[in-house]
Structure 1
Amino acid sequence: MKKSNTTSVMAAVAVLSVVLLAGCTELPGRQSANNELGKNITEDVQQNIGEAVKQELGKAAASVEQAVQDTATKVVDEVKANSISKELSLSKEIGSASVLSMNNAVGEIEVTSTTGDQINVSATILAHNGSAHKADRQKILDDAEISIDVSGDTLKVSTNSKSNPKKDLWTWAQDKYGYSDFSINYTIEIPTRMDEYQITNNVGQIRLRNLDGNYRVVSNVGAIDIEGANITGKSTLESNTGSIRMDIAGMKSDSRLKATTNVGSLNAVLADGVKCSLVAKSDLGQITGVEGGKRDVNGGGPLLSLSSDIGAITVE
């Protein structure tokens, strides 16, 4: 994950500072600390105060995260209301491919498993309102097509221009019309025998359902939601700004999963039979379900690492 994305982190820290300094959140133990000025404070008291401050900052961080999500939802709704759209679909035999690769700029991605040997891709392009490019919007939609390219064991899904298939739709539209203000939402069904998912989304939610294999998922701005996952490789889930939710059905003995966020909560739900060794760390945020930051589940097993700069961590 790129740690250079300091704008969102600094913004969140600034908001937290304003909340606390304004007195909106009363820090537990602050009055008693004032009464003890000039006296020696024991290490135990210092530690308790530090934990209290951290918990209150975590609560404020959760409020900031929710506010960001609410604002994002409102913006998305407004954008949809003023957009024109086009639906695309394409199916293709996957052959010997075992890796799904995607790199999307703006939009939502949902991937689920299916029987058979075909990948089925549906895409909705939303061209946002731009008074200076009303005529160009329709031309861009008319020139769009889904591409499913196979290279070795990798299956790459993208949306390109019919006029220039080597360029993704955003790059082509910007070069030709000076306009690329649109999003692409994907719904994808892949055969169950595929076992690696390399998915990057710059802005938008990623949802993966009932997939077995190795996860390499990155979201810059947007939540990651994993359901019914069977982890079989060295997997990573990374979000700069956005929560990560994991519903884990199983982990192979030689696998591991590392989930990290800069600003955003992490929630892991483990099926009853899952064996793993949990490690959890949050710089600003409460940790629930992992006492002391470490816990062996069902006797321990492959590593499940959860880390957040700003955000709560919960394990169920």
Structure 2
Amino acid sequence: MGRYVGKRLLSAIPVLFIVGIIAFVLSHLSGGDPARVVAGNDATQAQVEAIRQQMGLNQSLPIQLWQWMINIFHGNLGYSYILGEQVTPTILSHIFPTLSVALFGEAISLVVAIPLGVLAADKHRRIADKIVLAFATLTTSLPSFLAGLLLMIVFVLQLKLLPASGFVDPNEDFAGYFSHLILPGVSVATLQIAIISRMTRSSMIDALGSDYMRTASAKGLTRSRQLWVHAFKNSSIPILTIIGQSFGELIAGAIVVETVFDVPGIGQLVVNSILRRDYQMIQGIMIFVALVFIIVNLITDVLYAVVDPRIRERSF
């Protein structure tokens, strides 16, 4: 298993390198002078040039890119001259609310989507299957930010059951922390539920028509055991694949939903950095999000190997 994980980590290095180049190029093509933004509109040209030299902008772009990439592989995502602080700790201070929303949304989607997919496959072409498909179609066409607004209207304005916005530290008030996560978590889970339930249904239908399922039925196993122990286990690889792939979309959805519910996470940091033209922070966030995607894909690959050891053996 160690060699398997090591190979996956090595394969992630080129991806991180390419993302770093793209982030650097896009930030320099966006227009504007970062030194002028830091200095302010009232600064003299001499002051702007001094700041440009301090920021290293007087060097050629290849040299700037090289130095930035070296810093990245040392864990240093740069320095925000707008905020006057290092990029890495600033991102880390905003990541907990984003991960809280994303992981809570993922938990909701798995708890809802997988049983729905299994039910739809077991009741294939019956009324229950059609209801699940209709529900999946509805949630697919509902963007996370729109779902958030609708939920806010119902549960905040009408029923007055949940807080409308904000974020609470779980160490200070865990009940408040949980209540503030419900609406944004459900909002980002809507699309996930549709994607995962459809894939679970499709994979389970294939598994239920296989020979080993007919054997399991002939042995007199209960329907529940047939579905969850035999069919679901053999359908888990494509389900894991879609969960890993869609988690990136869930992170992106969480960043958007944060703006709706005023959650002080990465989404709020991105919006503020764009408005401030804080190019160093934007570059750092792009690298950090890419790193999160790489970690999610690595976890997915490891789960492949756990579910099916033949995958691990073929990789050597």
Q: TM-score, normalised by structure 1?
A: 0.24
Q: Which has the higher strand share?
A: 1
